[in-house]
Amino acid sequence: MQEYKEIEISAWTKLGEGGEGSTYTNPQMPGVLLKLSNHSLTSGSLEAVSREFYASKAVYDLGVPTPEMLDIVRSGDDYGILSRHIKEKKSLAKMSGENPGSIDGYAARMAGLARQFHATDAGGSEGIPSMKRLMLEVLDNTRMIGGKTLRRVRTFVEGLEDAPTLLHGDFSFCNLIMADDKPYWIDLGSASHGVAMFDLGHFYLFCNIFGKQKRVQDIAHMTADQMRQFWNAFALAYHGPEGLDEFNGRCKRFAGLAVLLLGHIKNLTFSERFFLGQLAKVLTK
Ligand SMILES: Nc1ncnc2c1ncn2[C@@H]1O[C@H](COP(=O)(O)OP(=O)(O)O)[C@@H](O)[C@H]1O
Ligand SMILES: [Mg+2]
């Protein structure tokens, strides 16, 4: 078994805390950020941490603007990732919340960067799995939908192209940060390849459906209306005005797939599974 460098956590200062772990810096290691996962969560296992490390590294190697991955380390039972620390950064979400008058402009900026991201060919890149294949696996095991709905969704996914297009996997304005007007995509642990609609569906879900939840508004630093406004400006700039309604309809369908993926990633309670199953059914219609 591979040995990972053990770090002394008392030498590190906590910067922030997320759902999955915390970030730290160390004056002895300037320019380095530690993202330490909590082992008590499944996302903190060595398997999940190394998947995030190698996927992010592969994306960096494809030339996408993202912080360089440096090393996998351990602190007792917890595993973490060292990456290049982007200082004085702000997410597009935070910028939008602080300056709502500029939401349309920020959304157009993100759309331009997203088009560049989705112009990246990840075919043949190791560590970047196929989203179509993953989605079919999710459908094989899902307990959120069944019967006719499941058959309809499976037919839809089977008909999709297994495109080499690079996908972010957790595509949102929270995972695009700016420092000195330079953009960086972060949180690339779910990077994959497939049709770009997978990323757009995920973001549609975030802005237009989950944005109604207070918890999501706190994460996004925006109100439900502001997130919908962000989406509308983003969609217009990403797709163009021609056939925009149809584009939104397609995004909604992929939002349904994003819901099913969520059930695969998170441990859901019975009622969450029921609620999200109903949502997936409606969205994929
Ligand atoms: N390389 C980096 N440089 C600076 N800040 C970062 C970097 N990577 C992550 N962060 C900060 O840490 C937070 C959590 O990181 P992220 O990778 O998005 O993890 P999570 O899975 O918790 O969403 C981000 O919101 C961002 O502010
Ligand atoms: Mg994130």
The pLDDT tens digits of the residues spanning 195-242 come to: 999 999 999 999 999 999 999 999 999 999 999 999 999 999 999 999
Distance 186 CA to ligand 1 centre (A): 6
d(CA 35, CA 57): 15
175 CB less than 6 Å from ligand 1?
yes
Q: Does the C-beta of 33 come closer than 6 Å to ligand 1?
A: yes
For ligand 1, the distance from its centroid to the CA atom of residue 187, given in whole angstroms, is: 6
Q: With 70 as the cut, is the pLDDT of residue 159 above it?
A: yes
Domains and CATH numbers, the chain: 5-84 (3.30.200.20), 90-283 (3.90.1200)
The pLDDT assigned to 43 comes to 60
Q: Which residues of 187-210 are buried (b: 16+ CB within 10 A; e: fewer)?
A: bbbbbbbbbbbbbbbbbbbbbbbb
Q: What separation in angstroms does the CA of 236 have from each of 91, 247, 248, 266, 283?
A: 21, 10, 10, 32, 21
Residue 31 in contact with ligand 1 by CB distance below 6 A: no
CA distance 199 to 118: 9
pLDDT, tens digit, 9 for 90 and up, residues 160-203: 999 999 999 999 999 999 999 999 999 999 999 999 999 999 99
Residue range 6-55, pLDDT digits in tens: 999 999 999 998 777 899 999 999 999 999 987 666 666 888 899 999 99
CA of 186 to the centre of ligand 2 (A): 7
Determine the residue of 23, 182, 265 to mutate for testing ligand 1's pocket, defined as the one with the most ligand atoms within 8 A of the Cβ atom. Answer: 23
Total number of residues shown for the chain: 285
pTM here is 0.96
Which ligand lies nearest to the CA atom of residue 23 in the structure?
A: 1
For ligand 1, the distance from its centroid to the CA atom of residue 143, given in whole angstroms, is 31
What does the mean pLDDT of the chain come to? 95
